Amino acid sequence: MRTKEGNKDKDILEAAVKVFAEYGYHKSKISKIAEVANVATGSVYVYFKNKEDILLRIFEELWEKLFHEYRKIARGKELQPANKFDKMIDMIFDLFTENPALAMVFVNEQNHLMLTNEDQFTKNYDKFLDEGIFVIKEGISDGTFSKDLDLAIFRHYIFGAIRNLLHNWAKEPRNFTLNNIRQNIKYLTMNGIKN
């Protein structure tokens, strides 16, 4: 028999991230992804059910990673709520610093996935945000954060802000430094704009 030549599924996934980031999901051709991955077009279908499935797996891996990191931070005993919150922001920025193309796909292709796989997507999104909210609740209990917060709203507020900033950064990295964005998000979220 014959053995596999390497990690084609990983190659394809990584190629897809690059291609989706550059062209967007709909303008990305399977043949292009195959080319970038250095495999034949047909091979893509050995490892993935279809084009959709590729995007799905990219998001699944990403959510998986984000969720576990967040859970670890949220459930830790050492840090104060405010520091946990800080660390959560850091974590997401570190991840995207390492892989800007992934950031691009993450912020841009959400919508497509929601239309085709809303349930699955929402489930992961909620699980992820819940860990953040866990920390906020802790902070409300101990007086760090305002008890008037509407958590159902705040979760989308902060996520939207981060997502949009990452998007604009990925699009035009020279306009901002990720580090600067990260610090500003922390400050704005904590203190707002008033003097």
Partner DNA sequence: TTTATTTTTGAATCATTATTCAATTATGGT
Partner DNA sequence: ACCATAATTGAATAATGATTCAAAAATAAA
| Cβ–Cβ < 8 Å for 44, 101 | no
Q: Is 11 one of the binding residues for DNA (CB under 7 A)?
A: no
CB closer to DNA out of 45 and 67: 45
**Binding partner of 55, given a copy of itself, DNA, none, CB within 5-8 angstroms per partner class:** none
Q: Rounded to an integer, what distance in angstroms lies between the CA atom of residue 114 and that of residue 7?
A: 29
Query: What is the DSSP secondary-structure string of 170-188?
Result: HH-GGG--HHHHHHHHHHH
Q: Is 19 one of the binding residues for DNA (CB under 7 A)?
A: no
Q: Rounded to an integer, what distance in angstroms lies between the CA atom of residue 104 and that of residue 107?
A: 5
Rg, the chain, Cα only: 19
CB closer to DNA out of 7 and 184: 7
**Binding partner of 8, given a copy of itself, DNA, none, CB within 5-8 angstroms per partner class:** DNA
**Binding partner of 157, given DNA, a copy of itself, none, CB within 5-8 angstroms per partner class:** a copy of itself
Q: Which residues contact 42 (CB under 8 A, 6 or more apart)?
A: none
The least CB distance from residue 38 to DNA, in Å, is 7
Q: Is 113 one of the binding residues for DNA (CB under 7 A)?
A: no
**Binding partner of 162, given DNA, a copy of itself, none, CB within 5-8 angstroms per partner class:** a copy of itself
What angle, rounded to 10 degrees, do the helices at 8-23 and 100-141 form?
Answer: 90
User: Which residues are at the interface with DNA (CB under 7 A)?
Assistant: 1-6, 8, 27-31, 39-46, 50-52
